[in-house]
Amino acid sequence: MNKDIYPLHGAEQVMATSAKFIDQKGNVLPSYRHLQAAMLLDRLAIRYSVVERGGRTLFLTERGEIDVDEIVSQLSDEQPAMKTIEISDASLNFDYAHFLPSSPKCSVLHGHSSRVIVELSGFVSDDMVVEFGEAKSLVKRILNELDHKLIVARRYVEVRGDSVRVSFVGKGGRYTMELPSSSVYVIEGESTVENISEHIARRIAAEVSRNVRRVVVKMFEGFGKSALSSVV
């Protein structure tokens, strides 16, 4: 299971766990198709458990043991359509600093002004996927945690009480900074636009309504550059 590191608050690092194919019951499934089957069963209020038989992952229901293909073929016609909403408000922006030691141009400390567009896909509940104001508030709260922070990979950070020491080798030599922990936001991988957008998508997915099944975040880094991350 992959682990994302959430922001440093004082000397704390908060760990969050995510996995690619986990159903609402916490079962780890071998493929997205299995996850689709589990979503169908959940949506139709069909009780199930996951069992292994002869190297195959099966779903045990009141109808007996059935495999993933049988579930999808039998129940897909009964499944309500998924809907998608887009949140592209101009206020969904943040400024941040970062560095990328492996990049000749970006291996010095520098900053960007970024904005995001968020898509939320899921089943309709009370005639909507999620209330726009609620979704916008969630996204803005997460972006505010990144705003005007140094976003940095965990490998470059050493916690020292209420401060952190950030050290890396970049263009021209070694860079070392002693910073208040409140000015640093730590993620697992390098602070590329690809990884930051994925981190934001996972943060949203962890807190948004349960009927939302996919979160897509498009993050713009300056002009003409962007990355798209999709989390199921």
**Catalytic residue annotation:** 106, 148, 221
- Give the long-range contacts of residues 39-42, CB within 8 A, separation 24 or more: 39/213, 40/71, 40/72, 40/75, 40/76, 40/78, 40/79, 41/71, 41/75
Cα angle 16, 123, 217 (rounded to 5 degrees) comes to 45
Coil/strand/helix, residue 90: coil
Give 201: exposed, middle or buried? Use CB within 10 Å, 0-12, 13-18, 19+.
buried
Nearest one of 191, 226, 227 to 106, comparing CA atoms = 191
Residue 197 near residue 227, CB atoms below 8 Å: yes
Backbone angles phi, psi at 125, to 5 degrees: -130, 125
